[in-house]
């Protein structure tokens, strides 16, 4: 087991990609902090994973765009587990709005949740990380290519890729690795309204991704198998951005 007895925080982990990452980590022996906006959902996930995989879990309600909530979440996690070995910055949103109609409020909300949160959560977590720990940021192929109606989302995911590189440079001095994952079109509750059939024309492998595809990539980056990889963005998109 690659992550046995490791302590991992996964933000946005009550459903979708975050939930799949949390379960893959649990299956591999990691103890988990399930953090999201709905405490009841977090508690439900934490209880299920604890029972199924015989691990330790902690459910915490947290809006990752709010510094006071982030600090409290990390403080509670560190108090219970004494350290943090892995942080997965997964929480994010992607509301569609035309560029010409995008309001300042909408822009700020997406950038706060998707990008500022990386700063807030990572800064708080690093205080409790030892050499050998690592951070994984969930970016997107929208950090590399453009999607209409998602200028704020694309900006946040591009920014995350840049942040990942700088964080890797600076935290490398502490022997802490920082990497990102850039998913393509993934089957999650949040993508139900998207025309996936049209998008599949861009995917050489001819299928949409599953949350487990991203979870497997996260497991690799979080493990010692990737202990000489940092500052990298691993694209998991079925080949979309190869053409």
Task: List the catalytic residues.
Answer: 153
The pTM of this model reads 0.96
- By the 8 A CB rule, do 200 and 208 touch? yes
pLDDT reported for residue 195: 67
Residue 190, pLDDT score: 67
- State the pLDDT at residue 193: 64
Helices 67-81, 117-126: crossing angle, 10 deg rounding = 30
Q: Where are the domains of the chain?
A: 7-242
The whole-number pLDDT of residue 9 equals 98
**Tell me, what's the pLDDT at 1?**
85
**What pLDDT, on the 0 to 100 scale, is given for residue 242?**
87
Superfamily covering domain 7-242: NAD(P)-binding Rossmann-like Domain (3.40.50.720)
Q: What is the pLDDT of residue 145?
A: 96
Query: Tokens 């979080």 map to which residue?
Result: 222
Low-confidence ranges of the chain (pLDDT < 70): 190, 192-193, 195
Angle 203-209-211 (CA atoms, 0-180°, nearest 5)? 160
């Amino acid at each position: 087991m690659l992550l046995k007895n490791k302590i991992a925080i996964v933000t946005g982990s009550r459903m979708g990609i975050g939930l799949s990452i949390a379960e893959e980590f649990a299956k591999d022996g990691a103890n988990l902090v399930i953090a999201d906006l709905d405490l009841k959902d977090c508690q439900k996930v934490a209880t299920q994973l604890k029972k199924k995989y015989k691990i330790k879990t902690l459910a915490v309600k947290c809006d990752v765009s709010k510094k006071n909530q982030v600090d409290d979440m990390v403080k509670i996690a560190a108090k219970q587990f004494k350290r943090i070995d892995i942080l997965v910055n997964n929480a994010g949103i992607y509301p569609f709005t035309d560029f010409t109609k995008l309001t300042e409020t909408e822009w700020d909300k997406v950038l706060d949740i998707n990008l500022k949160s990386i700063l807030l959560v990572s800064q708080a977590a690093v205080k409790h990380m030892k050499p050998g720990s690592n951070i994984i940021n969930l970016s997107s192929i929208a950090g590399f290519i453009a999607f209409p109606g998602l200028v704020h989302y694309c900006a946040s995911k591009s920014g995350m890729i840049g942040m990942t590189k700088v964080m890797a440079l600076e935290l490398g001095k502490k022997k802490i690795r920082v990497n990102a994952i850039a998913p393509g079109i993934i089957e999650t509750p949040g993508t139900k309204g998207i025309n996936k059939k049209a998008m599949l024309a861009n995917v050489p492998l001819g299928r949409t991704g599953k949350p487990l595809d991203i979870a497997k990539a996260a497991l690799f980056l979080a493990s010692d198998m990737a202990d000489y990889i940092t500052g990298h963005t691993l694209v998991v998109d079925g080949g979309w951005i190869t053409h």
